[in-house]
Amino acid sequence: MPAVIIVGAQWGDEGKGKASDQLGTQVDYVVKFNGGNNAGHTVIVDGEKFALHLLPAGILSPGCTPVIGNGVVVDLEVLFSEIAELESRGVDTSRLKISQNAHIIAPYNKKMDAMGERRLGKRKIGTTGRGIGPTYADKMNRVGLRIQDLFDESILRQKLESVLDQKNFMLEHMYEEDTFSVDEVANELLSYADRVRPMLFNSALELNRALDRGETVVFEAGQAVMLDIDHGTYPYVTSSSCTAAGACTGSGVGPRRIDRVVGVAKAYITRVGEGPFPTELFDDDGEQLRQVGGEFGTTTGRPRRTGWYDAVIARYATMVNSLTDIVITKLDVLSGWEKIPVCVAYDIDGKRVEDMPENQSDMHHAKPIYEYFDGWTEDITHCRSFEELPQNAQDYILKLEELSGCRISSIGVGPDREQTIIRHELLD
């Protein structure tokens, strides 16, 4: 099983880092293919918690090569800060590789992000303010900076002169903010050149050669399908391709080389930022999910919005990603509920809808139609086989499998790497 994609099957924060980390102990490469430091992974190894923001989860697996692919946008300050933090805790980061085609988040991108959100006011998207969207916009407008530009100072300065003409005009006349000089930005970025140079490689070439050798490569998505720029709840989305297709464009590995696509979903659902959320809870149940599940952003610390499992979204994720497997995380958080609702369809203006509405207004007006399942009170964090789960927990998983249209291969019953039930091996 040489090539496996791991994607978020909800609105992010599903536990993709744990899934990638578990596979990382058995694979040769773990590749982050989209996003930046706007969404993090929390991975717990032997009781020790690691909060990753830009780095792939494979950084914690000895013998695995972690890769930042060409589809990622890189804040160099954050990169080296995160590396320093891990190394101070005894983690070897020397294996890290970065595509020379990955784009750089420049200082002005972060400022433009913050100013854009401020200008939108009540209509804000809810970005993290880390410059992700403006950097992807520059990439598409062909005025972006790539890491390889750090090694030709004249080209770097030419690009900065061009892009800063536009950015500074907007900062001065639209936002009444301080502007940036070419020297200021160039000197800051060039200060990282010598440190980043040994990490760079031709990612498309080397990853395809690794697959030719029969080595195993895991592709790790940032964010999730409902935040995808094309297939998410636009405009309340991120600025990159978070689906399985994005793994190919963000790494240079073609789709015929992919063997398995794994979607990660919580046993309930959460969302950060603005936008529609049909099963969102505003009551004590929602707060209990937040507190018991520790639903606060790894990168931002923002409290996450919480709700019950949405099978409409799960079926949609299965379809647009061609999921072969689903990993369910945080099943243990649901222990203690007498009844557990699951959204099986939407009510949109009095009509039952079982598929994801394409119309943006319909999604905003969607009301959940629930089925209710018996809960359990037992502590399941010690369970290591499906049969050890309480019968009601087993029935819940089997129903989610049926409603989601994809087999559930793995179940998380706690935050630690070992607190996992394997029903089907992902690397068979």
Instruction: Establish whether 103 is a catalytic residue.
Output: no
Query: Which among 13, 21, 75, 325 is annotated as catalytic?
Result: 13
Q: How far is CA 138 from CA 141, 165, 227, in A?
A: 5, 13, 20
**Which token pair is 327?**
């990993």
Residue 219: exposed, middle, or buried by beta-carbon count in 10 A (0-12, 13-18, 19+)? buried
**Residue of 324, 363, 330 whose CA lies nearest to 347:** 363
Q: How far is CA 156 from CA 79, 80, 131, 161, in A?
A: 20, 21, 19, 9
Alpha carbon 2 to its chain's center:
22
3-state secondary structure of 27: coil
Query: Which among 21, 41, 53, 228 is annotated as catalytic?
Result: 41
User: What H or E segment, with its residue span, contains residue 28?
Assistant: none
Q: Which residues contact 55 (CB under 8 A, 6 or more apart)?
A: 32, 66, 68, 79, 82, 83, 86, 93, 96
Instruction: Establish whether 149 is a catalytic residue.
Output: no
Residues annotated catalytic, as ranges? 13, 41
